[in-house]
Structure 1
Amino acid sequence: MTVSSGENSADSKYSLSGLAPLEAVLFDIDGTLCDSDPLHYYAFRELLLQIDYNGGVPITEEFFIEKIAGKHNDDIARGLFPNWDLEKGLKFTDDKEVLFRKLAKDQVKPLNGLHKIRKWIEDRGLKRAAVSNAPRPNAELMISLLGLSDFFHAVVVGSECDRAKPFPDPYLKALEVLQVSKDHTFIFEDSVSGIKAGVAAEMPVVGLTTRNPESLLMEAKPVFLIRDYDDPKLWAALAELDQKGAPGATAAA
């Protein structure tokens, strides 16, 4: 179901004002900072064809969304190759990441409005971290290509936590590293796995409808969905948050 702009819904459904005073904003990377899923899909499809996966029939985008998007490589390897030992499956995902990074260098672009939300966050002196299930070389490459290396105070990756998304561990680690409270932090995410991780960490998640179906994202319980960082619904929620007492705004205690 498509989420409306909120005219016929309770305002609180699209509100972030309960977080005031806001301390931090956390971002996923793939599909959240940039529309990189088509590159991941292409890389998986081509390498799976090379090993005659599925009898040589190319995987579909629907298969990619269901079995791969947003998941950690350990889980992807187990899901794609249940009869392989994990080491062999991870060698395949490592090869895929090499191809992805090669493609990304020329094709990664920021989501619409990304630099607008960056300025909003910087102007208020908020802390920020990137939290991803991607391998660290991928995460740091994407951040660099997007010109965000000086923006993020921390980069947390799932493989360096006890458990990756959809478990809350990566987001809880980000709170610890930034030394902020979950009660004054929210998350941007684009996948079911990521939204579930944020919700499990007891933080509100704003979902981006970059590639994944809205109906699936809503089942993971984001506070609301936006198409990108230019979405008026996001800016209405941020304006309300400012009024309620975000850093840089005048508000009652």
Structure 2
Amino acid sequence: AAAGRRRSLPSPQSLRAILFDVDGTLCDSDPVHYQAFRDMLQEVGFQGGAPITREYFCGHISGKHNRDIGLLLFPDWDEAKRSKFFDDKEAYFRGLAAKDLKALPGLHKLCKWIKEKGLRRAAVSNAPKENVEFMISQVGLEGFFETVILGSDCARAKPFPDPYLKALDHFGITADNAFVFEDSPSGIKAGVAAGMAVVGLTTGNPEAALREAGATFLAKNYDDPAIWAALE
């Protein structure tokens, strides 16, 4: 997306909903996923047992749906074997994450603002249901989201727009009434393809890749003045 064509955030008058990705967006979970994938892939002898690099993780795994990651990493495995690998990996991830997963700075302040403004809110994630519920609970946002849309509940997961279109449909609004917080190129592409402005959070992925995917602007976390300037 050329910079000139990036959508700006809806005006305060037309803003009716804010949609959030979960992994890396509500909390800085990417380093934990990287560790879980690195350990588990070494265990199954992926790349001859050489650990995957951070670059490989960002380029091929981060933000993508497990179904798509499985086809990429294990094209020769059957569905049951791939499924078992991801069940084990996610359980390992939750064990690691339970110790130190925290909300991104400013998240609770923003959520309070969203409630005060009476805006609709949804979590839209490619992660498995157990992970999504676990992370929402870890960051203390149980009951905050009115709906949770999973990639696996849609015909196509992110980077396709289907999960975000489903959220807009759920609220009965158009892309001009909402915007998205995302942290991965895959998620940003999905939000942009659904016609929305997307704020890219720089929690784990290279800034150039987030811009390239079409982010309206980038922010470090929810305390970033750029976010508040755009909202107010």
Distance in 2 (alpha carbons) for counterparts of 1:236 and 1:14: 16
Alignment size in residue pairs: 230
Distance in 2 (alpha carbons) for counterparts of 1:214 and 1:87: 36
Given residue 224 of structure 2, which amino acid in structure 1 is its aligned partner? D
Given residue 219 of structure 1, which amino acid in structure 2 is its aligned partner? E
Q: Classify 1:238/1:18 alpha carbon distance in 2 versus 1 (closer, same or farther; 3 Å).
A: closer
Which of residues 207, 224, 230 is equivalent to 1:214? 207
Unaligned runs of 5+ in 2: none
- The Cα shift of 1:145 comes to 1.1
Structure 2 counterpart SS, 1:236: helix
TM-score (norm 2): 0.94
Q: Find the counterpart in structure 2 of residue 244 from structure 1.
A: none
Given residue 236 of structure 1, which amino acid in structure 2 is its aligned partner? A
Which of residues 214, 217, 224 is equivalent to 2:217? 224
Q: Find the counterpart in structure 2 of residue 4 from structure 1.
A: none
Distance in 2 (alpha carbons) for counterparts of 1:222 and 1:82: 31
User: Identity across aligned pairs (percent)?
Assistant: 59
Unaligned runs of 5+ in 1: 1-8, 240-253
The alignment's C-alpha RMSD in Å is: 1.8
Q: Find the counterpart in structure 2 of residue 166 from structure 1.
A: 159
Q: Classify 1:173/1:73 alpha carbon distance in 2 versus 1 (closer, same or farther; 3 Å).
A: same
Per-residue displacement from partner, 1:67-125 (whole Å, max 9, x unpaired)? Answer: 11000000010111122223322221111011111122222101111011111111100
Residues 44-59 of structure 1 correspond to what in structure 2 (within 5 A)? 44-59=37-52
Residues 100-111 of structure 1 correspond to what in structure 2 (within 5 A)? 100-111=93-104
Given residue 144 of structure 1, which amino acid in structure 2 is its aligned partner? S
- The Cα shift of 1:127 comes to 0.4
Check whether the contact 1:78–1:86 (CA below 8 A) recurs between aligned residues: no
Given residue 130 of structure 1, which amino acid in structure 2 is its aligned partner? A
Given residue 223 of structure 1, which amino acid in structure 2 is its aligned partner? T
Q: Find the counterpart in structure 2 of residue 118 from structure 1.
A: 111
Check whether the contact 1:31–1:211 (CA below 8 A) recurs between aligned residues: yes
Which of residues 33, 37, 45 is equivalent to 2:30? 37
Task: Confirm or deny that 1:143 pairs with 2:136.
Answer: yes
Task: Confirm or deny that 1:193 pairs with 2:154.
Answer: no
User: In terms of Rg, which structure is larger?
Assistant: 1
Distance in 1 (alpha carbons) for counterparts of 2:189 and 2:13: 23
Structure 1 counterpart SS, 2:122: strand
Task: Confirm or deny that 1:83 pairs with 2:76.
Answer: yes
Structure 2 counterpart SS, 1:106: helix
Which of residues 223, 233, 237 is equivalent to 2:226? 233
TM-score (norm 1): 0.87
